[in-house]
A and B are shown apart, each in its own frame.
Chain A
Amino acid sequence: MESEDDMHDANEVASVEEDDNYYSGGEDDHDMDEAGEGEDYGYDYDEEEDDDAADYDFIANSDDGDDALVSRSQKNYTILKEEDIQRRQFEDITKISTVLSIPREAACILLRRYNWSVNNVHEEWFADEENVRRAVGILEKPVVKSPNYKEVSCGICFESYSIGKLRTLACSHLFCDTCWKAYISTSINDGPGCLVLRCPDPSCGAAVGQDMIDKLASHEDKEKYRRYLLRSYVEDSRKIKWCPAPGCDSAVEYVVGSGSYDVTCSCSHSFCWNCAEEAHRPVDCETVAKWVLKNSAESENMNWILANSKPCPKCKRPIEKNQGCMHMTCTPPCKFEFCWLCLGQWSDHGERTGGFYACNRYEAAKQEGVYDESERRREMAKNSLERYTHYYERWASNQSSRQKAMADLHQMQSVHLEKLSEVQCQPESQLKFIIEAWQQIVECRKVLKWTYAYGFYLPEAEHTKKQFFEYLQGEAEAGLERLHQCAEKELMNYLSSEGPSKDFNDFRTKLAGLTSVTRNYFENLVRALENGLSDVDSQAVCNKMSSKTAAGTSKSKSGRGKGSSKTGTAVRNADDSGSWACDKCTYMNARSAAACHVCNHRR
């Protein structure tokens, strides 16, 4: 800081952000951006841009085009455990160290600087080795002459030592071991900035490598350093992110441009790789962020919804929801069967009454009479909260239903399956269909839950779309209810029976059929919603909806359309082929079938 010009540099130091910026590249280099005594060491950091930026530009566009339709069974991500990350780091360091003929610690410093991209290190190094060396502090020769007298003073404590007692990096700035140790320990305990530690001399950019750390740091500090290094591999990369599940140490590497961001970690946590929220297909990340924000803003108003208890619409006694599906039966003697969501009579739900499942729809309260301005405003405020409440309640119900289903799935795998195998005299391998059913329920509850956020943000003005959406959602809700009920309640009969039931095979056929039908329906639904219901044809929808055929569970066989344009039509044209929906389970049967393929119910 001797001259005016030096001062300029000092004042240009960017920011003093907290830990999360330590890995963001360039900024750390400013730490040692002290202008030196000579031109040679006054580095110009401004020229170091984020060289990788261009590589990642296409992330933002990856939702475009047909990518989004990549089948979910094709994995577009890799789970990395701690040992995988360590192995990769080791291999990359070996590669760089071999190709550039530099020590491992120098290779490590280079890789860290270029976000662990071997290619970028090669590119930069071969383009301008000298500049790269200077920027990261890998020196070839000392920057000061080694003193040739015997007694030298340490540059920090100023005590005199015989020269053999002092230690230096390649730069020949000498410090005693006590000061080196304190310097390194202070830096490691300050945070991940220790990964870009430089020589203590303010004018010197020589990097402190891992070899120095290994020699001088305490065991505990070495371990911290190792963790920071491990973290940097994930946090510097734009293709790898940590699994957000508490206590999970795995990371997920995502193939950019490969469509859906939903990933499932080895710890079984499903999350959106892009925004780290739980997986949220078919809703996009922005909508999820808006919805989450809305929920936290309204959380006080919504607490009652999470209470999980409602008065029975008939006898008014509080009913605790302890099952996953929405079909509630009040305790005896009332035994009233109702829908948890709309509190309507259960028999009004589904195709039997000729109407379709409609409690997913929000009908704004009718406004009657004449309002003065303030009353109207109050009414509007109330309506908007009511509208939100409607969607939030369904979102939350599916959420808790999903959690219940996950617990049930676990219970099934750990306890019930074995018992069922005994009671029904079936090998467990023959009971996989039950696990598959439960896995499907868990998945569908998640999708269904997010469709309520989707619905909330669907513009009111787009009537046709909204109508079509509500129709699809209603069918999804109904289809899933059937599956959930079958897996939850009907299964109980077989579990608690004395011996093998003779209709167990029918049950198998039904549950497996419902599982497959529901899976296909939901896959189509997700694609249709992700496409923004772009091919809604108002005519067809209206025809469809007035025909009152439960076509929701359509296309079990041919549902895997080739592209976006097929999905909407798959639902719409379900009965054009002459196929028919079963009255009992709504399975779409071939025209030729006289009885339902799934439940044997006659046409």
Chain B
Amino acid sequence: MTSDSASSRKALSKIASNRLQKELVEWQVNPPAGFKHIPTDNLKRWVIEVNGAPGTLYAGEMYQLQVDFPEHYPMEAPQVIFVPPAPLHPHIYSNGHICLDILYDSWSPAMTVSSICISILSMLSSSPAKQRPADNDRYVKNCKNGRSPKETRWWFHDDKV
């Protein structure tokens, strides 16, 4: 499911690893509500547990996010996907790809893993129905061979979800 692109195989730049270390420290002091970082020895890939917010369609459910950082993080956005099984949501594909603008075009280096997590939880919480995107099957088929969602040209859904 991870990207094979050259950038993801390259080691983190010094700036990137410094910044990630700082983010990790901040996370340990002040983790976003509903998320748990699963410790590994790999700074380049974070695995984060997501707990559906109480009172929403996903209450009591647990999912995993996989965050891969490129060499030039945070100038380039990280790749963020749900590890299947991904939550049933109109903007989340069954292969775990997430249609959320800040992960792609609207990424800004002043954002953090923590702010991404908050956006994703907000997206889950506001879902009116547990269903896959209309184009799920076609999209997932096109993503065979481990294409990264960052290579997708996203049309961000304009429905009110």
Contacts and interface: CB of A to CB of B under 8 A. Distances in A.
Interface in A16-50: 16-18, 30-34
A31 B156 CA distance: 12
A462 interface: no
Given A2-B118, A186-B76, A13 B106 contact: yes
B155 A202 contact: no
Interface string B112-132: 000100110011011000000
B22 A11 contact: no
A157 B115 contact: no
Contacts of A159: 18
B101 A11 contact: yes
Contacts of A175: 110
Contact of B109 (A2, A4, A10, A200): A200
State which size class the interface on A falls in.
35 or more
B106 A34 contact: yes
B11 interface: no
A33 B102 CA distance: 10
A524 to B, nearest CB: 51
A334 interface: no
A367 interface: no
A1 B75 contact: no
B19 interface: yes
A158 B19 contact: yes
B153 A202 contact: no
A16 B153 contact: yes
B91 interface: yes
Interface in A158-198: 158-159, 173, 175, 178-179, 182-183, 186
Contact of A157 (B15, B26, B72, B111): B15
B75 A186 contact: yes
B160 A8 contact: yes
B104 A11 contact: no
A277 interface: no
Contact of B122 (A3, A16, A31, A34): A3
Interface string A190-215: 00000000001110000000000000
A224 to B, nearest CB: 17
B118 A13 contact: no
A15 interface: yes
A157 B19 contact: yes
Given A7-B122, A10-B119, A202 B102 contact: yes
A155 interface: yes
A156 interface: yes
A6 interface: yes
A14 interface: yes
B135 to A, nearest CB: 15
B122 A156 contact: no
A12 interface: yes
Contacts of A1: 102, 115, 118-119, 122
B48 interface: no
Contact of B108 (A2, A4, A11, A201): A201
Nearest to A153: B22
B157 interface: yes
A31 B154 CA distance: 14
Given A13-B156, A155-B110, A200-B110, A2 B122 contact: yes
B123 A7 contact: yes
Contact of A34 (B102, B126, B158): B102
B83 to A, nearest CB: 22
Interface string B90-108: 0100000000111011101
B161 interface: yes
Interface string B9-44: 000000100110011001000000000000000000
A15 B155 contact: yes
Contacts of B101: 10-11, 13
Contacts of A182: 15, 72, 75, 109
Nearest to A198: B108
A10 B156 contact: yes
A10 B106 contact: yes
A34 B116 CA distance: 13
B11 to A, nearest CB: 17
B126 A202 contact: no
Contacts of B122: 1-4, 6-7
B155 to A, nearest CB: 6
Contact of B110 (A14, A18, A186, A201): A201
B52 interface: no
B128 to A, nearest CB: 11
B126 A4 contact: yes
Contacts of A17: 153
Contact of A183 (B22, B75, B153, B154): B75
A182 B18 CA distance: 15
A32 B110 CA distance: 12
Interface string A388-400: 0000000000000
B105 A202 contact: no
Given A4-B125, A6-B122, A7-B122, A13 B110 contact: no
Interface string B136-161: 00000000000000000111111111
A11 B115 contact: no
A171 to B, nearest CB: 12
Contacts of B158: 11-12, 14
B87 interface: no
Contact of A202 (B18, B91, B108, B157): B108
Contacts of B105: 13, 16, 31
A16 B155 contact: yes
Contacts of A157: 15, 18-19
A321 to B, nearest CB: 48
Contacts of A200: 108-110
A183 B111 CA distance: 13
A33 B101 CA distance: 10
B78 interface: no
Nearest to A34: B106
24 contacts: A1-B122, A6-B122, A7-B126, A8-B160, A10-B100, A11-B101, A12-B158, A13-B101, A13-B105, A16-B153, A16-B154, A18-B153, A30-B106, A32-B106, A34-B106, A156-B19, A156-B110, A158-B22, A159-B18, A173-B110, A183-B75, A186-B76, A200-B108, A200-B109
Interface of B: 15, 18-19, 22-23, 26, 72, 74-76, 91, 100-102, 104-106, 108-111, 115, 118-119, 122-123, 125-126, 153-161
Given A4-B126, A201-B108, 12 more contacts: A7-B126, A10-B102, A10-B106, A11-B161, A13-B156, A16-B154, A157-B19, A158-B23, A178-B15, A179-B109, A200-B108, A202-B108
Q: Which 8 A-B pairs rank lowest in CB-CB distance, beginning with the nearest?
A: A1-B119, A200-B110, A158-B22, A13-B156, A186-B75, A13-B101, A4-B126, A156-B109
